[in-house]
Chains A and B, each alone.
With several copies, the nearest count.
Chain A
């Protein structure tokens, strides 16, 4: 991919094709918030395999991907459905030892990605000192001594994911990605800087002139974006603050149905495999009126 000032707008299928089997993908997500779930559904439909997924907080999208057999390894700090409870497919796969798990503290995985973003071989933190977490991955975290004070710190080996996938508010066709408000969560901040390729879906495509009127809103410059997909409500059932809230009904339904592998399969058949396009997905949710209803925040 190049970083050129050219039209980056592609179809959902074309974007998914940039992710190759075996890739390490850095995937945005924070509980019930901001996750590129339309992209995730397409990765599942496209039958991706052996993915190594790096996240801070793994949620509903990761649980789908694990259930669908896309994932070989997860690197994260927690994987659950937030207030809706366990991520059951993660749990089952882990207990059946069908999934490689690299559990980190938040600041150790961020320091790994931050070093990747900075082109440094490693970074340091104090997070995790004294815990058993560090012992899980001596190849990527190691206690070393400060060369000035002798104090112990945790060296974290750089991680440069092959691809970062994100969902954001809007962009121009060149891939100048804007957020309102500007990046808050860690993944929006460091994932695109750390990854070799960056795929972003957005709610809205605007003219380049509109971006130039509001440069303070741009979070990722076009020269770091490889592919752009126009996917309104592309985070659903997660929220995209302040545009729309998460879909409590769909979260609860998945939490209930995913208690069994069969229930999970039925859910994925209905919400992923059974819908070939994002338009079909939106239609299934009940069309514009139903989606409008998600915009309530109280």
Chain B
């Protein structure tokens, strides 16, 4: 195929996340999740045709063709094989672990992948900033999900040492603290507008994997309020395959709905 020379950060983020998905995955998406939904559609159109996607947690194996509405919208359920009833069916498949993969963003993300989208401030009831709320992340963090984190605001306000409010349980306080609580799986990968990170297997501290073109490891560390686990050498994030990029631009998200995610981002797309 060959890799692309010209691409934007939103495109790189979608293609990188898509590559992380496989045909074995069963993925449901939440609200305002244009990057994950684009990545799901792209993965399914390329290397992961068997991937199961539950559109907006409702439309099982939906085939909307493209990102044509917001990510919970019924437009995205098109050509599905089932409308999954939420109260019993969806929650039992989520609780039981059948639906195992979920993608989350948040206003604060800490070094162990705990996430906060509820409040900024030291007192929950007297917030400096009131955010929309935890939504599905409060569930998914405790329900054994393989969590993929994305962020379009890689800066020290988002990547904090300790979240002001732990809405989504990541690796908790690191080490075996998550497992001790009886929770399986946990955060896997973090894809931002600057880089890709994962978690060091033992300490569960966030670790730099690759930096996007034109970004240095030092810059990433400067934009991160905690100390990243830093490998000896940090490669550049592989550029998207040309075919992936074509599909993303022309087929999966021709209206570039994914750019909505960059509201408030320093990265212009």
Contact = CB atoms under 8 A, between A and B. Distances in A.
**A adjacent to B, CB under 8 Å:** yes
Interface of A: 2-6, 30-33, 57, 76-80, 82-83, 85-87, 90-91, 94-95, 97, 101, 103-108, 110, 114, 117-120, 125-133, 136, 151-152, 172, 174, 176, 181-186, 189-190, 193, 208, 211-212, 215-216, 218-219, 221-224, 239, 241-242, 245-246, 297-298
Interface string B67-78: 010101111010
A79 B134 CA distance: 9
Contacts of A128: 138-139, 142
Interface in B168-195: 168-169, 172, 178, 181-183
B150 to A, nearest CB: 16
Interface string B29-68: 0011000000000000000001010000011110100001
29 contacts: A4-B24, A5-B50, A33-B73, A57-B135, A78-B117, A83-B70, A91-B129, A91-B130, A105-B134, A106-B136, A108-B138, A119-B97, A125-B95, A127-B95, A127-B143, A128-B138, A130-B181, A130-B183, A132-B124, A133-B118, A133-B134, A184-B83, A212-B80, A215-B77, A215-B81, A218-B60, A222-B81, A246-B73, A298-B75
Interface of B: 23-24, 26, 31-32, 50, 52, 58-61, 63, 68, 70, 72-75, 77, 79-89, 91-93, 95-98, 117-118, 124-130, 132-136, 138-139, 141-143, 165-169, 172, 178, 181-183, 260, 263
B87 A77 contact: no
A279 to B, nearest CB: 27
Contacts of B126: 97
B93 A298 contact: no
Q: Closest 7 A-B residue pairs measured CB to CB?
A: A105-B138, A218-B82, A94-B130, A78-B135, A241-B74, A78-B133, A80-B132
Given A82-B31, A186-B87, A30 B72 contact: yes
Contacts, number: 213
Contact of A297 (B72, B75, B263): B75
Nearest to B116: A132
A103 B61 CA distance: 31
A97 to B, nearest CB: 6
A184 B86 contact: yes
A117 B166 contact: no
Given A82-B70, A129-B142, A221-B81, A77 B92 contact: no
B133 A77 contact: yes
A198 B87 CA distance: 19
Contacts of A77: 133-136, 138
A130 B169 contact: yes
Given A77-B134, A91-B130, A127-B138, A3 B52 contact: yes
Contacts of B72: 30-33, 82
Contacts of B181: 129-130, 152
Contacts of A152: 181-182
Given A77-B136, A120-B95, A221-B84, A131 B70 contact: no
A160 to B, nearest CB: 9
Contacts of B128: 95
B86 A185 contact: yes
Nearest to A175: B81
A257 to B, nearest CB: 18
Contact of A223 (B58, B98, B142): B98
A91 B95 CA distance: 31
A103 B73 contact: no
Contact of B95 (A30, A119, A132): A119
A106 to B, nearest CB: 5
A245 B117 CA distance: 28
A194 to B, nearest CB: 8
Contacts of A104: 138
A110 B87 contact: yes
B127 A216 contact: no
A222 B138 contact: no
Contacts of A221: 60-61, 81-82, 84
B138 A97 contact: no
B76 to A, nearest CB: 10
Nearest to B99: A223
Choose among A127, A190, A245 the residue with the greatest number of B CB atoms under 10 Å from its CB. A127
B87 A190 contact: yes
A197 to B, nearest CB: 13
A239 B165 CA distance: 33
